[in-house]
Amino acid sequence: MNTKVYYVDEHSDEKIKEAAEVIKKGGLVVFPTETVYGLGANALSEEACRKIFEAKGRPQDNPLIVHVADFDISEYTEYISENAKKIMENFWPGPITIVLKKSTKIPMLVTANLDSVAIRMPSNKVARKLIEYAGVPIAAPSANISGRPSPTTIEHTIDDLMGKVDMIIGGDKCEFGLESTVVEVLDEKVTILRPGAITKDMLEEIGLKVDIDPTILKKPDENLKPKSPGMKYRHYAPKAEMTIVTGRIERAVDYINMKIDEMKSKGKLVGVLATDETKDLYKGGYIISVGSRKKLGLIAANLFDTLREFDKIDVDYIYAEGFEEDGLGLAIMNRMKKAASYNVINL
């Protein structure tokens, strides 16, 4: 397939309209959002959405998020609880996806046969214009090959999907760099299924009582049927085996330095996911700082790009420093643990 690539910003109306035509005709368009780049198709067309699964190699039991540009989502849902409305009013447009009871308008393929649908209104203006010009909601997972780190730049999407989609539009690096918070609000009960930039604290600040799905905090039990099907898959994974080292940072640095030496004697290269505070403490290895520990937002925005850089350098092992699992740290560590297949050493 010949893939058109357009560098656009929010004022590139003609090109965004052309992309919207592709969506209307049942094609695939990669587009930017504030979380990660999305691989979009007309959410009301089963045939169009089937192509998303094919292009990504995505398992069919992993549902898609439906992106809208309008607060009126009554056509796509059967019931919108008061708490769901409260979340929409406070955080839409923005990086939070709400799981609601689905209407028959949404094909079963989109929701992987669940009777719920995940809906989000992105704040990215190119994304919203695309949805508006298309005149239909756009189903979109992250625009990467299934299993790889999510794409936070247009180059990442070109690396993964060139030749597999009709069009790629974008240019800017994604503002948040982690996928949206997914929150289930089928009735008035609010449960976070995937942590993201909208944190538990932020949801509690608007007066909600919030549960965190237990699978976020620990490795999901193979026998347990996850509420959010995406939870069970290997995700965000770099090519090299990855280990996260948590606990006192001085100890983590010593341990990683020991590993760098050990691997070097075997002719192997260690990639270190470090921070501004520690990057000069490593002796050898391929060191990348994801940013300063004082700015977790920037660490989130850099994380997937850093994992992809280790792939490019072709390191043999990755050792990563850990972060506190509160606030945005919960979302960062959730992605890192999956990338490391839950390989965590606590010192």
Instruction: Determine, following the binding rule CB under 6 A, whether residue 182 of this chain makes contact with ligand AMP.
Output: yes
Asked if 153 interacts with ligand AMP (CB under 6 A), we say no
CA dist 228 and 220 (Å) reads 11
- Partner in contact with 103, chosen from ligand AMP, Mg ion, none, beta carbon below 5 to 8 Å by kind: none
- For ligand AMP, how many residues bind (rule: CB under 6 A)? 20
324 torsion bin: left (phi>0), alpha (psi -120 to 50), beta (else):
beta
The minimum distance between CB 320 and Mg ion, in angstroms, equals 20
Q: Which is nearer to Mg ion, 150 or 278 (CB)?
A: 150
Q: Which residue's beta carbon is nearest to the bound ligand AMP? A: 230
Stretch 90-129 residues interacting with ligand AMP (CB under 6 A): 99, 111, 114, 116-118
Q: Using the rule CB under 6 A, give the single segment among 40-48, 122-130, 229-237, 276-284 that binds ligand AMP.
A: 229-237
Judged by beta carbon, residue 213 or residue 321, the one nearer ligand AMP is: 213
Of these partners, Mg ion, ligand AMP, none, which one is at the site of residue 99 (CB under 5 to 8 Å by kind)? ligand AMP
DSSP letters for 167-224: EEEE-SPPSS-SPPEEEE-SSS-EEEEE--SS-HHHHHHTT--EEE-HHHHSPPPTTS
Residue 233 or residue 282: which is nearer to ligand AMP going by CB?
233
Contact call for residue 30 and ligand AMP (CB under 6 A): no
Q: Which does 257 bind (CB under 5 to 8 A by kind): Mg ion, ligand AMP, none?
A: none
By beta-carbon proximity to ligand AMP, the closer residue of 105 and 251 is: 105
- The answer to whether 114 touches 63, Cβ cutoff 8 Å, is yes
Q: Residue 20: how many CB atoms within 10 A of its CB?
A: 22
User: Nearest-CA neighbor of 146 among 208, 236, 207?
Assistant: 236
CA-based R_g, the chain, Å: 20
The answer for residues whose C-beta is within 8 angstroms of residue 332's C-beta and 6 or more apart is: 178, 296, 299, 300, 303, 323
Region class of 311: left (phi > 0), else alpha (psi between -120 and 50), else beta: alpha
User: Would you say how long the chain is, in residues?
Assistant: 347
CB 35 within 8 Å of CB 170? no
The least distance separating ligand AMP from the CB of residue 91, rounded to whole angstroms, comes to: 16
Q: Cα–Cα distance between 286 and 238 in angstroms, integer? A: 15
Nearer to ligand AMP, 117 or 288 (CB): 117
φ, ψ for residue 262, nearest 5 deg? -60, -45
Identified binder of ligand AMP from the candidate list 120, 148, 194, 259, rule CB under 6 A? 194
Residue 199 vs 334, nearer CB to ligand AMP: 334
The residue (of 106 and 299) whose beta carbon lies closer to ligand AMP is 106
| Chain residues that interact with ligand AMP, rule: CB under 6 A | 62-63, 65, 99, 111, 114, 116-118, 141-142, 179, 182, 193-194, 227-231
